Amino acid sequence: MKNIISKVLPNGLGEEVGIEVGDILLTINGEEIKDILDYKFLMADEYINIEIQKTDGEIWEIEIEKDYEEGLGVEFQKSIMDEAKSCHNKCIFCFIDQLPKGMRESLYFKDDDSRLSFLQGNFVTLTNMKDEDIDRIIKYRISPINVSVHTTNPELRKQMLNNRFAGDIYERLIKLSKASISINCQVVLCPGINDGEELIKTVEDLYKLYPSIENVAVVPVGITKYREGLFNFKLFDKESASREIENIKALQDKYIKEIGIPFVRLSDEFYVTAGAKIPASEFYEDFNQLEDGVGMIRIFRDNIDKDLERLARNKRGKFTMITGKSAYEEVFAASKKIENVNNKIEIYVAKIINNFFGDTITVAGLITGKDIMEQLEKHQVGDYIIIPKNMLRSGDTVFLDDITIEDLEKHYDKKIIVCEYTGEDLIELINKYSKEE
């Protein structure tokens, strides 16, 4: 049964009118609630009439007067109040297809659901949506929506997604744009396929739909060691990454002159691979593409520099910071800045090679607990071990391989400190766990 209420928030409308855990929301203003979109849309009124089915089967009809966009103050067993739509594509770059066997089942589910895009920021391809689904997004003003574009070349997109219905992406983006739906776009860049002139054309096409399309993030394809039977990719190297930076910079310079922002940005991996200078803070505006790895180094660097003055000078402590290959130099540089301000703080930086997925995966967010356990033995371990939050499952204490923080703490008999991957709380945590002289 859908729409089962799993939590009633204290002091909310639901508690006030007698809604309880286990109750079922049937209708709002006489309309059946199919999913979270219906709920959000129909709740956006000052006067509503709801039907609730109690756990004993009794139906309650409740009239409520409320603030315009105020919710019921409840949570549902399923966040979208429906089954998530799975992906109909067989993308040549799909990361899930490159996972080893034996991981938890939820990791193998490929979602492609616009409702999750709206609620959680997931990217969708729009390929499994009918025209009426697009109309529903427009009707309910579902915005912003995050769209995986990859290319605006219809035939190339069909090939990349292995879906003969994937070629109409630009027409759908135009329709959403004309309805003033805000859109964030993503391009997974594959060397020799959708890069170079293809990428330039894609970005130029998307720019024509600005400001509805607010920005474009370009990320390099991720390749694990589990690719038997899959498309044979090349990886970006110093030369090819530098070429993409140069190509995109020409577009960025033009867009900055025209609209005051770069519009398209490359993820940090391109700059690290090319050995290129990281752009200044202003380039990233509000850093709203961090989930794509765009600007992570810059915001980390800025946060450390800004917070150094708050580092306690009269404390002593030993810490080990865990990171991946791509961020190692940046984290090491930050550790030296901290030690230079207070030489009684010792920080050891452990670069963990991703043996679980393969050494071609270099980002910290995909490091597993097993690799940390096996490799940290080779490093000096301080009194505390610091890991970035993005190594863990969202809202949890579990790594991708189901090893937990508690497992690591027991293995090393050390306290694990979880910090924001942006570094905004690093100095505060070091102060907290250091000891007074």
pLDDT score at 61: 93
Q: How confident is the model at residue 353 (pLDDT cuts 50, 70, 90)?
A: very high
Check if CATH label 3.30.499 holds for domain 300-436.
Answer: no
Domains 5-76 and 96-294 belong to one CATH topology: no
* Domains of the chain by residue range: 5-76, 96-294, 300-436
pLDDT at 117: 45
Tell me which of 3.40.50.920, 3.40.50.300, 3.90.550.10, 3.80.30.10 is the CATH number of domain 96-294: 3.80.30.10
Contact 201, 152 (CB under 8 A): yes
Of 129-143, 208-222, 378-392, minimum mean pLDDT range: 129-143
In the chain, % of residues over pLDDT 90: 64
CATH topology of domain 5-76: Pdz3 Domain (2.30.42)
Q: Determine which of 96-110, 291-305, 367-381, 418-432 has the lowest per-residue pLDDT on average.
A: 96-110
Q: Which residue has the higher pLDDT, 109 or 49?
A: 49
* pTM for the whole structure: 0.84
Token pair listed for 422: 């942006």
- Split at pLDDT 50, 70, 90, the class of 85 is low
Choose the weakest-confidence range: 164-168, 261-265, 395-399, 420-424.
395-399
